[in-house]
Amino acid sequence: AAADGHTSVGLSGSATLGYNNDDVFGEDGFYWDTQLKIAMSAALDNGITASATFGIEIDDEGSDSDLATTGFFDNNDFGLLSNSLLLSLTTETLGLHFGDTSFAAESQWKSAGDMEADAFSEADGEVVLRADAMYSGVSASVSYAIANVDGGYVADDGATGSAGDQLSLGASGAFGMVNFAVAYQAEADNVGYFGSNGDFTDQEVIGVSAGTTVAGADITVAYAQWTDIAPSDEVLTSMGIQVAYPIGPVTATVYYVAEDAEVAGDVDDNYGITVAYADGPFAATLDYDNDQGTNKWNLDGSYDTGLGLTVLAGMQNENEGDDADYYVGGDYDLGGGANVLVVYANDEDGDQEDEIGAGEYMPGTTIAVSFSF
């Protein structure tokens, strides 16, 4: 890192070397990943700060790059982290961001449980242009999608010739004891153009939520409406309430969402409960959800021995009727930002791939050494 009072350049990174023996959804052998992140900033006139961040990675998955080397690595192992560049101009109350950042509605919205209709687009590799403003405790944002995850710019698409797609708006803040959030995203002009990451929705979505604290319980109510793309006239609405209440070392959170769909027929309501316990070396979370009529549950626990070793164990069932998946292992802190993970995860029905437990472990036995710099 370097700084002269007006400018600074910072470097951070991480590296992982691991082995996994699953040949279906795991790595089936050794794997590695190294990431270098660069952050630069400069204090300009009039209280404006300019900043730029981006990342470079070396991994065994292959990426597009012209960099080359010889020996253990080849030129396909090097590349910029996918659309990782972010350029920003910020003051205490204003901000302008371009690149790898969230959409406006995504950044401001707060739901009340698992709501089907609050399907605001979530940025995951797109190029985003977003402006933020804060005044008197209220934060507001507006954004456009500029390019998709493959680097295709909207201006290059002859469908509209515009320089941006899907207007997104959001605001959040508090008035006295009540906090609020409102969000809106327009229907995408270029339907399907931004859908590569699976978290981008082309439809129009609106949402409003409010929350407060009563007798120690945090209460949130929210309403969202999703409108399908013309000529379809399908409309989906969600009305939810969520209550979180701490009881000593336990925090219990329950929610219920009334779902309603016009034209396409009825949809099931969503509801669930989460109980989180943390006291000394023990921590555990039990989560149950009824998601569109399907029961899902997971249990994750950990115990810190105080000797650098944290014991991990858990079970889950994400698909009703399947056998429960489970994992057991340990994470040992080597100090100085290094740790060793040894875990065995069992995917009973072969349907979870590398998403077993809260740590999203790969099936089979995994041994990995990780470093942070």
Instruction: Quick: pLDDT tens for 348-359.
Output: 777 666 689 999
Helix-strand-coil percent breakdown of the chain, rounded to 5? 5, 55, 40
pLDDT of residue 67: 38
Q: Is the pLDDT of residue 206 over 70?
A: yes
Of residues 130 and 76, the one with the higher pLDDT is 130
Average pLDDT for the chain: 88
pLDDT tier at 48 (50, 70, 90 boundaries)? very high
For residue 237, the tally of other CB atoms under 10 A from its CB is: 19
Q: Is the pLDDT of residue 60 over 80?
A: no
Helix (H) or strand (E) holding 268: none
Highest mean pLDDT, choosing among 33-37, 54-58, 223-227, 356-360: 223-227
pLDDT of residue 84: 79
pLDDT tier at 70 (50, 70, 90 boundaries)? very low
Q: Count Cβ atoms within 10 A of the Cβ of residue 92 and give its class: 0-12 exposed, 13-18 middle, 19 or more buried.
A: exposed
Q: Is the pLDDT of residue 195 over 90?
A: no
pLDDT tier at 62 (50, 70, 90 boundaries)? very low
CA dihedral 236, 180, 251, 267 (to 10 degrees): -10
pLDDT of residue 69: 36
Q: Is the pLDDT of residue 68 over 60?
A: no
Q: Which of 83-87, 130-134, 159-163 has the lowest mean pLDDT?
A: 159-163
pLDDT tier at 14 (50, 70, 90 boundaries)? very high
pLDDT tier at 66 (50, 70, 90 boundaries)? very low
Q: Count Cβ atoms within 10 A of the Cβ of residue 373 and give its class: 0-12 exposed, 13-18 middle, 19 or more buried.
A: middle
- Per the DSSP assignment, residues forming a β-bridge with 368 are 18, 341
Compute the average pLDDT of residues 69-84: 44
For residue 262, the tally of other CB atoms under 10 A from its CB is: 12
Q: Is the pLDDT of residue 41 over 50?
A: yes
pLDDT of residue 307: 96
Q: What is the CA radius of gyration of the chain?
A: 23
Q: Is the pLDDT of residue 331 over 50?
A: yes
